[in-house]
């Protein structure tokens, strides 16, 4: 009985994974002896004469010249007379043939490195079930991982977190200290030197807060006032630092226009008639929604100035300037304001103001507004040209809704109007962009039903 010996694509070097048979020097039926040159193989570096290691008769050529096959692929079979000669490649080395089937029912001796064995054990993967994509059917680390986390990209590429919105720069130690001293980083001023929050600033904020918390349990009115004053001072210091830096670094330019509010006000009146008191809308909701939509369409004003260049923000987090009882100001953000309905925006606004005034704002709301709106019209001011909050590049201002003489079609009438203003960073944008932005808001306010 003649046994069949496999003649496989040999490995001809440390970095060779595949080879191309350039030429066969034998054909089926030829006798071959151990050491005869039977083929010429191209290894991408050179053409190499390849010898066979068994003596016998060429049975079948399986791979035609010109085809690139991985090392270990069976190229031809050789009939070996009598028992498999001692020189025949013992089946124990069967592991080297590429066909996984041969490997599975060989001596079950899986070809993979100890590192892969350790990974498999750690990930609870049974190696026998793994199809080895390595040379000669060798199981590689990727094969095990792929089985353990199907679907995930096989390479361990960590998901790149979405670009964080503009973050206030806080040193790691300051962040840790803030956690330990239960200090809300929003309340901490930034260092005047580099605009970042260091331990010193956190400690100052802590002391300010501490004097309040350490007051007597039933604080006499006076004591509570002093505590508030202390917190007030820290708040004031934060605002002072921010405003001073804004004026120092940001070349502001200012634009203003007057918007006819009649369409908006009558739409509001009709809507509020159908709504319960709790859901009733205020003009600010429309103003915010119009501004958010305009920011989406004029992205140059929505983002931050960082390392001497403008970084646009993918989302519109509208900062709302909220005055706190007894002085002080915060401008937390309504996230993705452009995507909210006017009603949801109204609810978000009420919630934000309530929490701002009770000091329960979230860190994220504080740290990432991309454009801020101030609505001082509430306090009866006709128009406001605000100071931009670094690192943002613009500030929108709405004055009081006021009846003004208004010419329509040549005839003089009285219309409710509002003075809409823009303060903008001339490093990031020019007046042209700012004007287009205000014009867009005006246009949107004329069709409240579409907001």
Residue recorded with tokens 């993705």: 336
272 binds other proteins (CB under 8 A): yes
Under the binding rule (CB under 8 A), the answer on residue 319 touching other proteins is no
Positive or negative: CA dihedral 358, 289, 345, 183 = negative
> Rounded to the nearest whole angstrom, what is the least distance from the CB of residue 188 to other proteins in the complex?
13
Phi, psi of 439 (to 5 degrees): -60, -40
Q: Is 93 a binder of other proteins (CB under 8 A)?
A: yes
Q: Are 259 and 442 in contact (CB under 8 A)?
A: yes
Extract long-range pairs of 27-31: CB within 8 Å, 24+ residues apart: 27/58, 27/61, 28/58, 28/59, 28/60, 28/61, 29/57, 29/58, 30/57, 30/58, 31/55, 31/56, 31/57
How many residues are there in the chain?
Answer: 451
Nearer residue to other proteins within complex by CB, 198 or 289: 198
Q: Where are the extended beta strands (E) located within 367-401?
A: 371-374, 394-398
Q: What is the closest distance, in whole angstroms, from the C-beta atom of residue 206 to other proteins in the complex?
A: 15
Of 23-31, 269-277, 428-436, 437-445: span binding other proteins (CB under 8 A): 269-277
- In which residue are the tokens 């004007």 written? 435
Part in contact with other proteins (CB under 8 A); list of ranges 4-12, 25-33, 391-399, 421-429: 4-12
Q: Phi/psi at 257 (nearest 5 deg)? A: -150, 160
Nearer CB in complex with other proteins: 113/152? 113
Q: What angle do CA 437, 442, 443 make, to 5 degrees?
A: 95
Options 27, 29, 82, 86; binder of other proteins; rule CB under 8 A: 86
Lay out the site mask for other proteins across 37-76 (x = CB under 8 A, - = otherwise). Answer: ------x-xxxx--x-x-----------------xx----
Q: Does 309 bind other proteins (CB under 8 A)?
A: no
What is the C-alpha separation between 108 and 97, in angstroms, rounded?
Answer: 13
Residue 181 sits in the site that holds other proteins (CB under 8 A): no
Of 202 and 393, which CB lies nearer to other proteins in the complex structure? 202
Window contacting other proteins (CB under 8 A); options: 73-81, 160-168, 246-254, 374-382 = 374-382
- Match 């040159």 to its residue by tokens: 37
User: Is there binding between residue 280 and other proteins (CB under 8 A)?
Assistant: yes
Q: Which is nearer to other proteins, 7 or 389 (CB)?
A: 7
Cα–Cα distance for residue pair 225/223, rounded to 1 Å: 5
Answer yes or no whether residue 379 interacts with other proteins by CB under 8 A. yes
Per CB under 8 A, residues contacting other proteins are 8, 10-14, 16, 35, 43, 45-48, 51, 53, 71-72, 86, 89, 92-93, 96, 109, 113-115, 118, 135-136, 171-176, 191, 193-194, 198-199, 269, 272-273, 277-278, 280, 282-284, 323, 325, 349-350, 353, 375, 378-380
């Amino acid at each position: 009985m003649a046994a069949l010996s496999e003649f496989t694509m040999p490995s001809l070097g440390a970095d060779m994974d595949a080879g191309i048979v350039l030429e066969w020097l034998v054909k089926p039926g030829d006798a071959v002896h151990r050491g005869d040159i039977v083929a010429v193989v191209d290894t991408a570096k050179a053409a190499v004469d390849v010898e066979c290691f068994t003596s016998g008769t060429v049975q079948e050529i399986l791979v035609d010249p010109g085809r690139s096959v991985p090392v270990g692929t069976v190229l031809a079979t050789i009939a070996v007379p009598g028992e498999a000669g001692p020189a025949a490649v013992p089946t124990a080395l069967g592991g080297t043939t590429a066909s996984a089937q041969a490997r599975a029912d060989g001596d079950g001796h899986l070809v993979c490195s100890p590192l892969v064995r350790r990974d498999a054990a750690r990930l609870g993967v049974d190696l026998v079930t793994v199809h080895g994509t390595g040379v000669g059917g060798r199981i590689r680390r990727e094969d095990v991982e792929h089985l353990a986390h199907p679907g995930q990209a096989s390479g361990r590429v960590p998901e790149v977190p979405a670009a964080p919105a503009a973050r206030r720069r806080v040193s790691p130690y300051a962040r840790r200290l803030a956690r330990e001293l239960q200090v809300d980083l929003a309340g901490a001023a930034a260092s005047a030197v580099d605009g970042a929050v260091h331990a010193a600033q956190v400690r100052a904020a802590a002391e300010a807060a501490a004097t309040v918390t350490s007051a007597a349990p039933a604080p006499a009115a006076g004591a509570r006032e002093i505590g508030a004053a202390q917190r007030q001072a820290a708040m004031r210091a934060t605002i002072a630092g921010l405003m001073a830096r804004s004026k120092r670094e940001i070349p502001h330019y200012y634009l203003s226009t007057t918007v006819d509010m009649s369409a908006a006000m009558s739409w509001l009146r009709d809507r509020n008639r159908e709504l319960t008191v709790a859901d009733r809308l205020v003009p600010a909701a429309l103003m915010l929604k119009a501004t958010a939509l305009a920011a989406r369409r004029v992205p140059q004003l929505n983002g931050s100035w960082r390392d001497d260049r403008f970084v646009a923000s993918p989302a519109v987090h509208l900062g709302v300037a909220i005055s706190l009882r007894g002085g002080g100001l915060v401008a937390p953000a309504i996230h993705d304001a452009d995507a909210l309905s006017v009603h949801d925006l109204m609810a978000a606004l009420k919630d934000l103001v309530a929490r701002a005034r009770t000091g329960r704002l979230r860190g994220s709301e504080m740290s990432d507004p991309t454009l801020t709106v101030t609505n001082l019209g509430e306090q009866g001011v006709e128009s406001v040209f605000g100071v931009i909050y670094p690192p943002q590049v613009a500030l929108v201002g709405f004055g009081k809704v006021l009846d003004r003489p208004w010419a329509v079609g040549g005839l003089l009438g009285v219309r409710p109007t509002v003075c809409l203003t823009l303060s903008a960073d001339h490093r990031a944008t020019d007046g042209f962009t700012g004007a287009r932005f205000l014009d867009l808001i005006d246009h949107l306010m004329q069709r409240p039903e579409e907001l």
